Amino acid sequence: MTMAATKPNATGAPGYSETLPCVKESAGIARRLVRAALETWKLEALIEVSELVVSELASNSIMHSGSPHMRVAVDRTGDDRVRVAVSDKSRQAPATSHASDEDESGRGLLLVEAFAERWDTDYRLWGKVIWAEMVAPPAPCAGGSNE
């Protein structure tokens, strides 16, 4: 059984988190958690990229951590900024691989690097937290063109 939780954060918006088993289906649950948070916060412009990033982070944990569970969290860290994080009990550093054009996997962290404004790994005594921050693109100017 999974447990969803919310907690206040520095912006006053609640953070969302859920403990999930390290199984393939959990990547989809992580995407739904991120979508629910971003819809609640009216940050629809970040949904697609944030779902992609959390899916890659969750898949990395599922495939490489050896942990039975992972914790997925999404926090609003600014008016137009969110942080998604996946924590697990492994202290093994995430590594970008050199996938060939024919490989069907091995590009997860390269995608995270491409789509996140920044990402990193925080090591803890019990394991690690891999996080990524995404920023919404600027809203178009009201009134059309400047001509």
User: Where do the domains of the chain lie, and which CATH numbers do they carry?
Assistant: 3-135 (3.30.565.10)
* Sign, CA torsion 121/122/127/131: negative
pTM value? 0.81
Average pLDDT across the chain, whole number: 85
What is the rounded end-to-end Cα distance, in angstroms, of the chain? 57
Residues 109-130: pLDDT tens digits?
888 999 999 999 999 999 999 9
pLDDT for 75: 96
Residue among 59, 50, 53, 51 nearest 27 (CA): 59
- Residues 6 or more apart in contact with residue 90 via CB below 8 angstroms: 61, 64, 65, 66, 67, 127, 128
